[in-house]
Amino acid sequence: MNKIEIAAILTDIGTLLELKGENPFKIRAYQAGARLVEAMSEEELDRRIAAGTLEEVKGIGDALAQKITELKATGRLGFHDQLKASIPPGLVEMLRIPGVGPKKVKALHERLGIDSIAALQQACAQGRVAGLEGFGEKTQEKILEGIRNREQYGRRHLWTEAWETAEPILAGLRRLPQVRQAEHAGSLRRRLETVGDLDFLVATDDPKPVADWFVAQPGVREVTAHGETKASVRLETGIQADLRLVPPAQFVSALHHFTGSKDHNVQLRQRALARGLSLSEWGLFSAEHKHGPSAEPGAPRPPGPLVAVKSEAALFQKLGLAYIPPELREGLGEIEAAEQGTLPELVEEADIRGVFHNHTTASDGHNTLEEMTAAAQALGLEYLGIADHSKSSVQARGLTEARLREQIAAIRALNASGRFQCHVFAGTECDILPDGSLDYPEDLRAELDYVVVSVHSAFRQGREDMTRRIIRAIEQPHVTMLGHLTGRLLLEREGYEVDADRIVDAAVARGVVIELNASPWRLDMDWRLWRKAAAKGLLTSINPDAHRTEQLAYYRLGVGVARKGWLTKAAVLNTKPLAQMKQWLA
């Protein structure tokens, strides 16, 4: 195991011990141990384990050192396995409800005998939870809301999780000798922020071996369909995966059809009909030709498309359109723009020259300033912005004014040392307080290269109050960009309510950037708002909000969302090369 995985196990042990009501000092020892391991470099951890000097680190005793060493060497820890086995799995499941921590789960279990989410929902509905000391009506309602959200969101998956599941499957399909072409389709290909199920399309003249491989691949929990044109499985991750198998001549039309969206497909079929053609998953035909699903049951399919197309670009061309990238196929004016030649030249991953809004171990990040800089350089980035939390974010170990000034000095010294080609900008993620004032005074903000301002508290303010709060914040001096506009956490909680149009207008008027937070849990500001906002002149910065080195690459997810929002390179601040970026910030 690497240090991040080890720290996660230690954190989990602390949580499980809290569920069991163990000694608080023991619980804190594991939590502290996790933070200490995260703060080390991988090299230091390896060196100390090899030398047997882990226990010399203040806060790591002999017992903890032994467990860390066992995890590093074997990837398993018997103590952890036994601990998990001693706790009803329903209690751990309850921890996934927002706002329900180990202490609440323990109280619910001990006082009401609740050992599952279903039992918790029933107890809330009966009002029994509100009657417990330390809970009350508001807590009960929040728990019910969390359960409802979990049920609603449980049918969907984060885009990045779906992608990580889908990529090995696609690679496996492409290795099969019977497969001529294979692609993702559906909402994954369109880069929707969440994905319902996975769609794969294969061109083959010999479908049976391909379908057989698909249903027998590792990770399949259940086979729900197994034929020569379609196979469906439920994976261990809970996500459903569908495979469509078509002759090579039908691949292009099928890829377009199964990529969707429904609205886009309907509009394109109507356009085809207006031109004396008929478009479906089976191909592009003359309008009077009966084919596919509209034919009589059991009727033979046509031998091949009457209008030959070898690519999606050619398919669009036959319909008098420029090529429409998959991200734009939502039925939101892309067909009209393709007809008029006004589709934007969308931003590309290669256009990104640096990233802002990233965290280090100074606040709630898991890697040091030097480790984050090295990782950014390894990604080929020219610059990196560090924006650790401000003092009011106590839960994130926010920096006091004195600690922030120390960090600024450390960043300046690192740049001056020449150790890295990647330049580091000194910033902050400064809390927007409930009244719209900022967590740091104006003179300190002036010392920074840039300032991100974000809401991290009082999420339940009304729409008008929250809108005024954010506008007051971005109108203050030395504010560069607004972080995560709505504070949403995908598949966990809705964002707080704001008047996005008014905030965009205020940002444009002040020259303030609104970030596209590329964390897969946020992807905020929502892609549906960007086309209109960019037309008003709003700039964005695609920020990974990285708390670990590997999360710096999240900017790639952000680029997908930016493309979905019709954004060009010119609309994205961090496409500027370093010299221009320094000038712009100055």
| 12 vs 304 pLDDT, higher one | 12
- Bridge partner residues of 243 (DSSP): 200, 231
Model pLDDT, residue 35: 86
394-426 residue pLDDT tens: 888 899 999 999 999 999 999 999 999 999 999
* Per-state percent for the chain, helix, strand, coil, to nearest 5: 50, 15, 35
503-522 residue pLDDT tens: 999 999 999 999 999 999 99
112-139 residue pLDDT tens: 999 888 899 999 999 999 999 889 998 9
In this prediction, residue 60 has a pLDDT band, given cuts at 50, 70 and 90, of very high
Model pLDDT, residue 145: 84
Q: Is the peptide bond before 41 cis (omega within 30 degrees of 0)?
A: no
417-455 residue pLDDT tens: 999 999 999 999 999 999 999 999 999 999 999 999 999
150-176 residue pLDDT tens: 666 567 899 999 999 999 999 999 999
Residues contacting residue 523 through CB under 8 Å, at least 6 positions apart: 159, 193, 490, 516, 517, 557, 558, 561
Name the 3-class secondary structure at 549: helix
In this prediction, residue 297 has a pLDDT band, given cuts at 50, 70 and 90, of very low
Residues contacting residue 339 through CB under 8 Å, at least 6 positions apart: 320, 321, 322
> Has residue 219 got a pLDDT over 70?
yes
167-217 residue pLDDT tens: 999 999 999 999 999 999 999 999 999 999 999 999 999 999 999 999 999
> Has residue 461 got a pLDDT over 90?
yes
In this prediction, residue 494 has a pLDDT band, given cuts at 50, 70 and 90, of confident
- Ranges 18-27, 60-69, 470-479, most confident: 470-479
Tokens 């292009």 label which residue?
Answer: 252
Give domain limits for the chain: 3-139, 157-246, 252-291+305-340, 349-585
Model pLDDT, residue 154: 60
* CA–CA gap between residue 166 and residue 242 (Å, rounded): 11
Concatenated DSSP letters of 435-459: TS-BSS-HHHHHHSS--EEE--S-T
Model pLDDT, residue 80: 92
Mean pLDDT of 255-268: 96
Q: CA 538 → CA 7, 352, 505, 573, distances in Å?
A: 40, 18, 8, 10
519-554 residue pLDDT tens: 999 999 999 999 999 999 999 999 999 999 999 999
* CA–CA gap between residue 106 and residue 568 (Å, rounded): 51
265-296 residue pLDDT tens: 999 999 999 999 999 999 898 765 544 444 44
Residues contacting residue 218 through CB under 8 Å, at least 6 positions apart: none
Model pLDDT, residue 221: 86
> Has residue 304 got a pLDDT over 80?
no
Per cent of the chain over pLDDT 70 is 96
Question: What's the CATH code, domain 349-585?
Answer: 3.20.20.140
0.75 exceeded by pTM: yes
CA dihedral angle for residue 134, residue 139, residue 141, residue 143, rounded to 10 degrees:
-110
User: Do residues 240 and 253 touch, judged by C-beta distance below 8 A?
Assistant: no
What CATH architecture does domain 252-291+305-340 belong to? 2-Layer Sandwich (3.30)
Model pLDDT, residue 291: 47
> Has residue 346 got a pLDDT over 50?
yes
* CA–CA gap between residue 521 and residue 557 (Å, rounded): 11
Mean pLDDT of the chain: 92
Q: Selecting from 2.60.40.10, 1.10.150.110, 3.40.640.10, 1.10.10.10, what CATH number does the domain 3-139 have?
A: 1.10.150.110
Model pLDDT, residue 306: 65
User: Do residues 460 and 420 touch, judged by C-beta distance below 8 A?
Assistant: no
- Ranges 151-165, 237-251, 339-353, most confident: 339-353
Question: What's the CATH code, domain 157-246?
Answer: 3.30.460.10
Residues contacting residue 204 through CB under 8 Å, at least 6 positions apart: 178, 179, 180, 210, 245, 246, 247, 248
- Bridge partner residues of 184 (DSSP): 200
